[in-house]
Structure 1
């Protein structure tokens, strides 16, 4: 007897977000999106297209005003804010454009602190943090402060912090926005390596060059998602 396939990591069904006002503003029109384990997906669109709204919904930072959202098989619509925060801490890793590192904490301390509310007391947070930093090529910079790191190194620390809790998905919001082109390429290489190792990655970007790196691309414009089919397939929307 064959076992049932695992649920998708992310599944949006008719999810939309409208902000109240006079008149109301629809930032995301009803959207279907399915992200399977191991996907490497770019969501590309200009400023004001709805990328941030989509990121906030995917990361459980905001609630949709319509539709249903399942994260790793869990319907998040009826969860309390406390349960949503706990699920977010276990299942989602975030990488931001601005790094958001604590300036007076070392690289290792920044990564170790990310485990504070996820791991149980007694688990080796320092060892886990060091392992995550070695994974992103910073085993030699464990005790450096952010001010002593280059922009690319700071983003690598941020990526280590995002993956240290082994999330189901890595959400990257303009991860190359503060980097020069060579460093941006190196960061995208790292994300591709993590994906090859089994991490599901979604990169949200305005940069068409960055969006070309993942094998799967979704465009967002005026709050509407569309996906071009890879070669050999007919387009059928965001799967």
Structure 2
């Protein structure tokens, strides 16, 4: 009888995580959330505008500090880290993909990815080669020297994904990755993300669009700052 596979170690661990903004009156954007994302998982966090999913993304991405609870990334408790330690951890272990691409318009694709490696620890002389390899991985080897202004929306998002992958992150964190794309182009980007998951990349996608979440192995929903597991989606993916 074959022994059950040992679960992969957690990449993201949220334990009673909360985030309250100090305004008048205070706003509890994230409320006592528990979530574990293991290595190699593909998880979609779905919620309407104002549900708290962007605040959750900011905490997972080490952009904001939680006001309660615990967040561990790759087994590292981030609670007591200094700002410099959080910045270093983010630069080495998290790759971001945003709706708006955030590419420098007059830098080539390979230059945009190379600039993303500045704080990654990759030696300067190796960065162009690492950037080119990342672009090849997402099917953009033929557009290395094209500027974003000459690229389609889908191509720009592929460059943004290459920039995120170049640092070899523990976590690929995607914020509405198809929000600026037409439906056909969005499908090609989602297929790319699904392919990266098949390669073993750990992925968390934040979205308001349930169709974007269809390819994920797990779906969790956020409403009024509270996370709930979508057991039906999880069962259907098994």
Asked whether the two chains share a fold, i.e. TM above 0.5, the reply is yes
Q: In the alignment, which residue of structure 2 is the partner of 1:201?
A: 203
For the structure 1 residues 231 and 170, does the alpha-carbon distance in structure 2 shift closer, same or farther, using more than 3 Å as the test? closer
Farther-moved stretch of structure 1 (220-229 vs 148-157): 220-229
1:220-235 equivalences under 5 Å are 220-230=222-232
Give 1:181's aligned residue: 183
Task: Please give the alpha-carbon distance, in whole angstroms, between the structure 1 residues aligned to 2:102 and 2:234.
Answer: 41
Within a 5 Å distance, the mapping from 1:87-236 to structure 2 comes to: 87-230=89-232
Question: In 2, distance between residues paired with 1:200 and 1:231?
Answer: 18
Q: Deviations over 1:1-27 (max 9, x none)?
A: xxx976300000000001112221100
Shift of 1:229: 1.8
Task: Give how far 1:120 is off.
Answer: 4.0
Among 20, 26, 32, the residue aligned to 1:24: 26
User: Match of 1:237?
Assistant: none
Calculate the aligned-residue CA RMSD, in Å.
Answer: 1.5
Per mean C-alpha deviation after superposition, the further-off stretch among 182-191 and 5-14 is 5-14
What is the CA-CA distance between 1:123 and the residue it aligns to? 5.0
Residue 77 of structure 1: how far off its partner (Å): 0.6
Tell me the SS of whatever aligns to 2:89.
Answer: helix
Normalized per residue, the structure richer in helix is 2
Separation of aligned partners in 2, 1:146 and 1:120? 24
Between the aligned partners of 1:213 and 1:6, the Cα distance in structure 2 is 20
CA distance in 2, matches of 1:221, 1:73: 27
Give the length in aligned residue pairs.
Answer: 230
- Please give the secondary structure, in 2, of the residue aligned with 1:9: strand
State how far apart, in whole Å, the 1-side matches of 2:78 and 2:64 are: 11
For 1:27-57, what per-residue CA distance to the aligned partner results, in whole angstroms no more than 9, with x for missing partners?
0100100000000011001100001100000
* Cα distance, 1:121 vs structure 2: 3.0
- Tell me the distance in 2 between the aligned counterparts of 1:84 and 1:31: 21
Q: What SS does the corresponding residue of 1:212 show, helix, strand or coil? A: helix
SS in 2 for 1:124: helix
Q: Which residue of structure 1 lines up, in the alignment, with residue 62 of structure 2?
A: 60
Distance, in Å, in 1 between the alignment partners of 2:147 and 2:45 is 32
Preserved contact between residue 47 and residue 221 of structure 2 (Cα < 8 Å): yes
SS in structure 1 at match of 2:113 = helix
Write out per-residue CA displacement over residues 116-157 of structure 1, whole angstroms, 9 at most, x where no aligned residue. Answer: 111243551111100000000000000000000000000000
Structure 1 CA distance, aligned partners of 2:117 and 2:57?
Answer: 22
- Structure 1 runs not aligned, ≥5 long: 234-239
